[in-house]
Amino acid sequence: MPSHAIDITIDQSENEFTVTMKIVGKLTHSDYELLNPMMDNALAGIDKPDVKVLVDLLEFTGYELHALWDDFKFGLKYNKVFTKIALVGNKRWEETAVTIGNWFTHAKIHYFESTEDAFSWLRE
């Protein structure tokens, strides 16, 4: 497996979107330079988008400092359109981050240890 990769898929049905991200290694500033225009283009012209997000962190190792700031700005920018965020991980700190994240967003955020359970929750 590569030491760094990000796989992003955006599926759309009317105004409903499912964004799936798999992050391998450290999240970088250049990842956000790719992700931001993808989200902007997908949501352009959509009235009241409903965005559900699944983030696979099973092979995630952390952030570059600039990417941590990018993540914060990304969350602020899309806070009103994200309705559910499912994080799939295997580290205790990731589960704690979900608890803290729930304080700062109107989206429902849940932590899962399996991708299948996360997708099931997003479809509810």
In terms of residue numbers, what domain contains 118? Answer: 5-123
CATH for 37: 3.40.50.10600
pLDDT in tens, 12-54: 999 999 999 999 999 999 999 999 999 999 999 999 999 999 9
Closest listed residue to residue 88, CA positions, set 119, 51, 124, 50: 119
Number of H helices and E strands in the chain, helices first, is 4, 5
CA distance 28 to 121: 28
SS3 category, 17: strand
Model-level pTM? 0.89
Q: In total, how many domains does the chain have? A: 1
Q: Quick check: 110 and 87 in contact, CB under 8 A?
A: yes
Sheet holding 50-63, edge to edge: 5-13, 16-27, 50-63, 82-88, 108-112
- Mean of pLDDT values over 76-97: 88
**pLDDT-derived band at 102, boundaries 50, 70, 90:** low
